[in-house]
Amino acid sequence: MAKRIDKLGADDALWRIAMARAETIRPLIAAGTLKAGVIADACRKLGVRRARLYALIEQFREAPVTSSLLPARRGPREGSRRLTPEQDALIGEAILQFYRTRQKPSVNALRRHLRQLCQAKGAPVPSWNAIKARVARADERLLLRDREGAAAARARFSPVVGEYHANHALEIVQIDHTKIDVFVVDAVHRQPIQRPWLTLAIDVASRMVTGFYVSLEAPSSTSVALAIQHMTFPKASWLAAREIPAEWPVSGLPEAIHLDNAKEFRARALTRGCDEHGVRLIHRPVARPHYGGHIERLIGTMMSAVHLLPGTTFSNVADLGDYDAAKHATMTLDELERWLALEVIRYHGSVHGALKLPPRAAWREMLAARPAPIAHPADPAGFLLDFLPFEERLIRRDGVRLFDLRYWDDVLSPWAGRLRRRLRVKYDPRDLSTVFVEDPDGGHWPVRTANLSRPRITLAELKLAQGALKARGQALVDEQLIFETVEQQRALVASASAATRSARRQAERRARALAASGQAAASATGASANPDADNFDDVLPLAMEEWS
């Protein structure tokens, strides 16, 4: 079978020659008899000799299409080889042993290596074009595997054969994080501080956003817990607090949460919290990102909308150009959170490309398809405690020690120095002034620092102070010294916050964390931070900061 000619790859000049030949030769073949005068006219018209015209006529008879009359390109025939077998063997050896390595050498480096090999063998050095042509003919998948790793090769060449599907609402929820492509400003000086993080959750069956959490800190088990809390509780009061007159009808415990293999998604607190409430955790197959396609596409949709905001960094440097993202930033984290909520509401009402209907409508259908009603936490006030990080500690006569801080409350008296087993001590990284001791029966008891005059500090502040003390060679277990160092650092931040971005960032994180954890603690102990609150979602710490 004759090789098929790439008519779309032919340049315009060659294609015009083929068209002229076809216009001349088609009538000759249709006439049947080739008279001498007609042949002579055709030769003059096409500028070819008689023998060449007859060859073109035969070409067209075998394949009566215009592309069969394209002029042959000058130069060696494709696939032909001019190098000696020895040169070919040396190139193959150099590509395998030198070029296909994780150091990812260039073709120029490959040629220099080949020059040494050829000189040692007394063979002529191949040209740069010959070497490049043989690299181009190498198996791309093997090249990528050896130069960038098996994961990169799978991501590019492996067929996408699997994706999670769900048959009803909250059967499977996917969760993932992304760094938002926009700078935010601090609430005091309205100066740029950094790009925040977004933890986002989507219901696979309906494509409804089930909840989200925005943060100035990198993803952690605490940010996952707060996103799950937002997903699980009703959102009417949360929307009202942000003056958003819209509905977001998603709430309840999912049957399964689908996650990737990041460290925060395998934290023991998250695993135990989901086990406690009957939520199954499903982790993606390693190096198979397409299994998280629903959440990845949602993140892409949200980031495309973010690119219209002032202070956006876009998704790559080429799009950014000379635009100074930090200089143009105008939104605080609270304002960005409200904007994201409005964008989620807009998304819910827009026709989804795959579903061919809005996610809000799909939610109603998928809700009706559920075989059982959606479950909600039996103890809303203590729900977050089930997902907080924890350490196991013995209850000693002087109380509990955690992060070199001492905690005491009379509630510990029955166990102090008597209980042989360790108890779980749960903590909120945003505020270490209070921890929650889980008793042998599963109840939680808030326990304050033994010295009630101690100020509220975050875990990040504590680690920063301990690092400063360690650098000075001082004891980390000196609690008084730790708090003095924290106070000194806060004073430095306060004096510098108007001038430097890092100081403004640190001050903003502390303020948000402590404000958020105050509401969370009130929720956990059963006391409302808002005495007029009518339900538990008034104390959701969605716009708050976590530290871990």
Same domain, 182 and 301: yes
Is 272 among the domain residues?
A: yes
What is the reported pLDDT for 290? 44
Between 322 and 439, where is the model more confident?
A: 439
Is 385 among the domain residues?
A: no
Is 460 among the domain residues?
A: yes
- Tokens representing 20 are 């002229």
Between 152 and 117, where is the model more confident?
A: 117
Between 514 and 64, where is the model more confident?
A: 64
Range in 12-21, 207-216, 262-271, 300-309 with the lowest mean pLDDT: 262-271
Measuring CA to CA, which residue among 440, 434, 436 is closest to residue 418? 440
Q: Per-residue pLDDT for 264 more than 90?
A: no
Scored b (16 or more CB within 10 A) or e, 330-344 reads: ebbbeebbbbbbebb
- Domain at 130, CATH number: 1.10.10
Q: Per-residue pLDDT for 496 more than 60?
A: no
Q: Per-residue pLDDT for 369 more than 90?
A: yes
Q: What is the DSSP string of 116-137?
A: HHHHHHT-PPPPHHHHHHHHHH
Same domain, 252 and 312: yes
Same domain, 396 and 342: no
* Range 122-131 average pLDDT: 86
Same domain, 327 and 203: yes
Q: Per-residue pLDDT for 31 more than 70?
A: yes
Same domain, 364 and 432: no
Same domain, 252 and 290: yes
Same domain, 225 and 366: yes
Range in 193-207, 264-278, 440-454, 495-509 with the lowest mean pLDDT: 495-509
Give the pLDDT band (50/70/90) at residue 505: low
Is this structure's pTM higher than 0.95?
Answer: no
Cα gap 372→142, rounded to integer Å? 50
Range in 70-84, 151-165, 250-264, 361-375 with the lowest mean pLDDT: 151-165
pLDDT in tens, 298-317: 888 888 888 888 877 765 54
What is the reported pLDDT for 410? 92
What is the reported pLDDT for 464? 74
pLDDT in tens, 171-186: 999 999 899 888 888 7
Q: Per-residue pLDDT for 490 more than 80?
A: no
Same domain, 360 and 221: yes
* Range 390-406 average pLDDT: 90
In terms of average pLDDT, the best of 15-19, 70-74, 289-293, 381-385 is: 15-19
What is the reported pLDDT for 523? 55
Q: Count the alpha carbons within 13 Å of 497 in the hemisphere toward its beta carbon.
A: 21
Per the structure, the complete domain to which residue 89 belongs is given by 85-157
Same domain, 107 and 35: no
The fraction of the chain above a pLDDT of 70, given in percent, is: 77
Strand segments, DSSP code E, in 188-250 are 192-194, 197-203, 209-215
What is the reported pLDDT for 379? 83
Q: Per-residue pLDDT for 78 more than 70?
A: no
* Domain total of the chain: 4
Q: What is the mean pLDDT of the chain?
A: 80
Same domain, 517 and 443: yes
Contact partners, residue 203, CB within 8 Å, separation at least 6: 166, 169, 170, 172, 173, 209, 210, 250, 254, 363, 366
Q: Per-residue pLDDT for 365 more than 90?
A: yes
Give the pLDDT band (50/70/90) at residue 534: very low
Give the pLDDT band (50/70/90) at residue 389: confident
Give the pLDDT band (50/70/90) at residue 163: low
Q: What angle do CA 203, 208, 210 make, to 5 degrees?
A: 65
185 and 191 Cβ atoms separated by less than 8 Å: yes
Same domain, 255 and 345: yes
Q: What is the DSSP string of 432-453?
A: EEEEEEEPTTS-EEEEEBSSTT
Q: Per-residue pLDDT for 318 more than 70?
A: no
- Tokens representing 479 are 């609690």
Cα gap 144→150, rounded to integer Å? 8
pLDDT in tens, 424-434: 999 988 888 89
Q: 106, 125, 157: which is the final residue of a domain?
A: 157
